Structure 1
Amino acid sequence: MNFGFEQLEQLKESSTALRLLRSPHFPFIGSFLYQAFLHTNRRSIPYQELVTLLDYHLTDLSEIYGSDKYPKSAQAYLEDWINIKGGYLRKYLPMQGDSIECDLLPDVEKALRWIEEMQGSGFVGTESRLKLLMGLISDLVHGTSEDKQSKLQTLKQRKAELEQEIQAVELGMDIGYSDSQVREKMFLISTMSRQLLGDFRQVEANFRSLDKDTRKKISQTDLHKGGMLDVVFGDQNVIDDSDEGQSFSAFFELLMRGEMRNKLRDDLKNLLSIEGGMEFVNYLLA
């Protein structure tokens, strides 16, 4: 990561996120895109529905600031945000569907998330983050160690801790988490889930960029079919062999396991059924 003057000067001109933040209409654009996509955790929205939502938003603003503040139609503003250099939204036709949809570009989501973080969550939980950090460090040390005895000692320690937990439950001594610990872990789950959704959008954008570059190479090359296939598969191997590509492949394989999906579904149902679970979800979305 470079923070030199030249790199930041170039970033200032090329970054969609910074262009959005510098826009004189950022309060208008940002408030709408945040409410439409991030506040509701929607991955994409049908184009006509987005026009309707923006029309409502414009009506609300006109009642406060007057109709001259933003005089254009909802559709005209959306088309501006789609077609502006770099764009804030992507307009596309889904592979399975006959209605046009829109979604946020990754840099736009990052900018809005940054503003969200600046405002603060109202709850700062440190215990869960510390335990998560310690667990990741321990897991990394365990996974990279070549010391057999050290690995055995770590596994035996985990076994002893698990046996203590089992014994506590059997004796009725397990009191579970306090209300404060439950809220803290809920916030951590919420934060990580939103970050994961943002990661999906970025990975998808990277794949689209690779596809665009590959198509451009094919259109400009005079290679025979075999040579073009070498180009296509060569580009595909670049992302498959990258750290990001390998991580995504592992994620996809994990998610495709039937037992994993069922467990996640059951855990989420149980999470929402606990006392205060649904109220907390509503609070996060408020």
Structure 2
Amino acid sequence: MNIDDFDRLWERHPAWRLLRARNAPLILSFLGDYFLDSNRGAIPAGELTAALDDHLYVIHLSEPERYQTSPEGYLDDWSSPESAWLRRFYPIASEETHFEATPALEKAYRWVENLQERSFVGTESRLHTLLDLLRQIVHGSETDPGTRIIELERRRDAIEVELAEAHEGRFTVLDDTAVRERHQQFSATARELLSDFREVEVNFRSLDRSARVKIAGWEGGKGDLLADLVTSRTDISTSDQGRSFQAFYDFLLSEQQQDELAELLTIVQGMPQVSTDRRLHRIHHDWADAAERTQQTVRNLSEQFRRFLEDQVWVENRRVMDLVRSIEVSALGVRDTPPHSDDLGIVVEEPGTPIALPFERPLYDTQPDVVVDSLLTPEKAGQSELDGLFAQRFVDTSRLIENIKAIVPPRSVAALDDILALYPVQEGIAEILGYLSLADESIVVDVTNDADRMMIDYLDVEGEPRRVKMPKVTITRR
């Protein structure tokens, strides 16, 4: 990195801006403890405001003139795009603003933590860790079976020697210094892992945001957009970061691994050589919570795919119905006066055996791909949606029941045509069918027999007079 790179980071990076802020001690002391040390995810605005108000109250007991801004003002400032130390958003199915920590806050907080002087700095355990990593790299990538067998036999011989010495009561035990050193390294690595989860979640959220932008502004075909979105989703899943995260998540979900982690953590926290850390005792649960929040971001991306498909299918189905209706109208128009075959261009060949010589057949010629564009133009799509919306009609069955109750006394019977004579049909044939399908405990609709008929005159939805002939229908009120 050159001086220009450092200049850009000094001016733009949120973590560096946090370290230069005048109220940085308040930000780090409150947000660091509330979000990072407690491993909290998204918090409602009311809950976070109350916690910050309590924190400021404790400060004002000793320093009344310090930090005079309201808790709401501080949260608005910390979550603004210029600061970007908190992320402010509305979760799905929630009307309250939520806040969560950003990776920039985590980096600044961890850097300040490392500024504290440590009375003990371990090096021996880290050297063993580095050697183990090198062995995993070298032996794990070995493809020669003979070399792998030699390495496995060497490790087996070393284990057998150690096992024989253990049977004789001779084995090496870690001293207090070695135990504290390894515990310190475990604590640091465990907290760094939580920080990495927060950064992976931000990367997945960036993919989700780009997918929403593409869906909102897309004007081309559905297939092209889906191909683009699926490719982006596959790229993030097959990247080094995506594969590493998925492998860790699968390992963490293993019941056997969870039991082993819980048992080991309980034993370590009970050792007198190490200081008890309440958070490390349940660090594996914090890992699971952080991984689940990251997985939720991926599920939100899949939800965007589903909504996009549902919206597009509705428009296409509407277009198909319009085409079918236009074909029906054209067929009814030529039903009584069918066109002549010459007008349709239909030619019927005379019966006979055609003669086709093999060499008269043309050579094979590849045909160009046929591209069918079924996308509606914006004007037509909008007009179809409005026409379909205004053309819908609804038959209120409760109104039909009230009509019957107003005419037919309890324990009496009336004919349907008599009821319609007093309450004319308003919604066309659909209203007549509505009477036949009434489902009410106090009303029974009965068709007497097919031989006894009745005639009903009504106006359809377009105001044209219509007449329907149907079996006699009686309605009994209980």
- Confirm or deny: 8 A CA contact 1:45 1:103 kept in the other structure: yes
Aligned counterpart for 2:79 among listed residues 82, 85, 94: 82
Aligned counterpart for 1:120 among listed residues 117, 121, 124: 117
- Confirm or deny: 8 A CA contact 1:46 1:101 kept in the other structure: yes
Distance 1:35 1:156, change over 3 A: same
Which range moves more in the overlay, 184-193 or 137-146?
Answer: 137-146
Aligned counterpart for 2:192 among listed residues 191, 195, 200: 195
TM-score by length of 1: 0.87
Equivalent residues, number: 281
Tell me which residue corresponds to 2:385: none
Tell me which residue corresponds to 1:166: 163
Which of 1 and 2 has higher RCO (CA within 8 Å, sep 6+)?
1
Cα deviation for residue 21 of structure 1 reads 1.1
CA deviations over 1:1-27 (Å, ceiling 9, x no partner) = xx1233222222321111111112212
Alignment partner of 1:19 is 2:11: no
Report which of the two has the higher share of helix. Answer: 1
Alignment partner of 1:135 is 2:132: yes
Distance 1:90 1:271, change over 3 A: same
Which range moves more in the overlay, 254-263 or 240-249?
Answer: 254-263
Cα deviation for residue 138 of structure 1 reads 1.1
Tell me which residue corresponds to 2:366: none
Q: 2 CA distance for matches of 1:66 and 1:22? A: 23
Alignment partner of 1:206 is 2:203: yes
Alignment partner of 1:281 is 2:277: yes
Q: 2 CA distance for matches of 1:160 and 1:97? A: 61
Q: Percent identity?
A: 35
Tell me which residue corresponds to 2:265: 268
| Correspondence list, 1:211-226, <5 A | 211-226=208-223
| Correspondence list, 1:29-178, <5 A | 29-67=27-65, 69-92=66-89, 101-178=98-175
Q: Name the SS for the 2:277 alignment partner.
A: helix
Distance 1:280 1:183, change over 3 A: farther
- Confirm or deny: 8 A CA contact 1:214 1:231 kept in the other structure: no
Distance 1:157 1:95, change over 3 A: farther
Distance 1:161 1:95, change over 3 A: farther
CA deviations over 1:153-185 (Å, ceiling 9, x no partner) = 222222122223323333332352211111111
Alignment partner of 1:236 is 2:233: yes
Cα deviation for residue 101 of structure 1 reads 4.4
Q: 1 CA distance for matches of 2:227 and 2:277? A: 49
Cα deviation for residue 233 of structure 1 reads 0.5
Q: Name the SS for the 1:160 alignment partner.
A: helix
Tell me which residue corresponds to 2:453: none
Which range moves more in the overlay, 196-205 or 175-184?
Answer: 175-184
Paired letter, 1:267: L
Q: 1 CA distance for matches of 2:254 and 2:95? A: 30
Which range moves more in the overlay, 237-246 or 171-180?
Answer: 171-180
Which range moves more in the overlay, 39-48 or 116-125?
Answer: 39-48
Q: 1 CA distance for matches of 2:175 and 2:96? A: 47
TM-score by length of 2: 0.54
Tell me which residue corresponds to 2:256: 259
Q: 2 CA distance for matches of 1:265 and 1:96? A: 35
Distance 1:146 1:177, change over 3 A: same
Cα deviation for residue 264 of structure 1 reads 1.6
- Confirm or deny: 8 A CA contact 2:17 2:83 kept in the other structure: no
Q: What is the RMSD computed on CA atoms of the aligned residues?
A: 2.6
- Confirm or deny: 8 A CA contact 1:46 1:102 kept in the other structure: yes
Q: 2 CA distance for matches of 1:283 and 1:251? A: 20
Runs of 5+ unmatched residues, structure 1: none
Q: Name the SS for the 2:125 alignment partner.
A: helix
Runs of 5+ unmatched residues, structure 2: 282-478
Distance 1:103 1:162, change over 3 A: farther
Report the structure number with the largest CA radius of gyration.
2
Q: Name the SS for the 1:119 alignment partner.
A: coil
- Confirm or deny: 8 A CA contact 1:82 1:89 kept in the other structure: yes
Paired letter, 2:171: D
Q: 2 CA distance for matches of 1:76 and 1:218? A: 35
